[in-house]
Amino acid sequence: MRCPSRRSAVLGMVLLCGSSIAVANYQDPAAAGAQGGGTGGQVIPVDKLHDRLFVLRGGGGNTAVFLGADGVTVVDTKIPGWGQPLIAKIKELTDKPIVRIINSHTHYDHVGGNVDFPPTIDVVAHANTQVNMKRGVPPKGAESRVPPDVFKANGGKNIAKRTFKDTMTIGQGADRIDLYYFGRGHTDGDAWTVFPALRVMHAGDIFSGKLVPLLDTSNGGSGVEIADTLAKAATVANVDRIITGHSSVMTPADLREYADFNRDFLAYVRAAKKAGRSVDEATSGYTFPEKYKGYRAPREDSIRNSVEAIYGELR
């Protein structure tokens, strides 16, 4: 019986990452009348950024689909159970073969569909993300609400096969893809994927939206370092648009602002700790600074989790 686990996986993703888009698009497969491996209710809306680049929403993190001369590159594969509908949607967009997955980080709502792709596919990620995929430790603070590890359940199928440390370039000219690692943040393996010919970057969850950051310290995340990491990413040349992990497409100015937001958040938490306040006191005392418009906490416990993570690092 797949529906309950699929449903709990989606709820877990919503709780973890707070994507209102995913909530709006999700229908329980049972309620939608799907049977067995059917894809009823698994709605994947498509945003076309360019003739060769699409954002596929729903079912977890935002997926980028890039059409190159040698085939299709897919950045992130959504929650477990959404690989097949993702592949079906890509086939509606192009006849080209899918040749490559890039995973922005280890979380189940970005890698869950990997196992539905053929075992011959190229899978690229940061070296630390490959380690995290093999370890299969759930995100800090979300342990009770995430699905079972999809790689363990599938004998390690389509864990990252090719890794990089600082940068990696795939292809050339109009097909070129640049991967960057700028340091710890959401995890210790957050990859930034840039399509320079199209001036677009895919950020993953280190920039999931205008949200209090989710700092997954179980997978190397850092609230002390995230602002510096974001600021470095904002200096990448030839980028006009940024595909966020779970929100709308944003700009380098938004990314710079998000780096500032995180720096100010860290300063607040640092000061609270220095003043001897407890995690609860620091949490209840936090208010979003006036200058950051549209920022929010995706969950009730988001601020507390982030405060706690930073207190742990400052110890």
Residue 241 makes CB contacts below 8 A (sequence gap 6+) with 49, 199, 200, 201, 249, 250, 251
Minimal distance, residue 305 CB to Zn ion, in Å: 13
Site residues (CB under 5 A) for Zn ion? 107, 205
Give the rounded distance of the alpha carbon of 294 from its chain centre. Answer: 20
Rounded to 5 degrees, φ, ψ at 117 are -90, 160
Minimal distance, residue 105 CB to Zn ion, in Å: 6
* Complex with Zn ion: residue 107 or 184, whichever CB lies closer: 107
Minimal distance, residue 108 CB to Zn ion, in Å: 9
Bridge partners of 67, per DSSP, are 72
* Complex with Zn ion: residue 107 or 210, whichever CB lies closer: 107
* Complex with Zn ion: residue 52 or 107, whichever CB lies closer: 107
* Complex with Zn ion: residue 115 or 211, whichever CB lies closer: 211
Where do runs of H (alpha helix) occur along the chain? 3-17, 20-25, 83-93, 108-111, 127-135, 150-153, 226-233, 252-274, 279-284, 302-314
Place of tokens 């935002």: 62
| Residue 136 per-residue DSSP state | -
> d(Cα 152, Cα 278) in Å, to the nearest integer?
38
Minimal distance, residue 245 CB to Zn ion, in Å: 6
Tell me how far CA of residue 209 lies from CA of 258, 275, 288, in angstroms: 9, 30, 15
Minimal distance, residue 107 CB to Zn ion, in Å: 3
Tell me how far CA of residue 94 lies from CA of 133, 174, 257, in angstroms: 29, 17, 36
| Residue 244 per-residue DSSP state | E
* Complex with Zn ion: residue 116 or 205, whichever CB lies closer: 205
Minimal distance, residue 214 CB to Zn ion, in Å: 6
* Complex with Zn ion: residue 205 or 228, whichever CB lies closer: 205
Structure tokens at 159: 């864990």
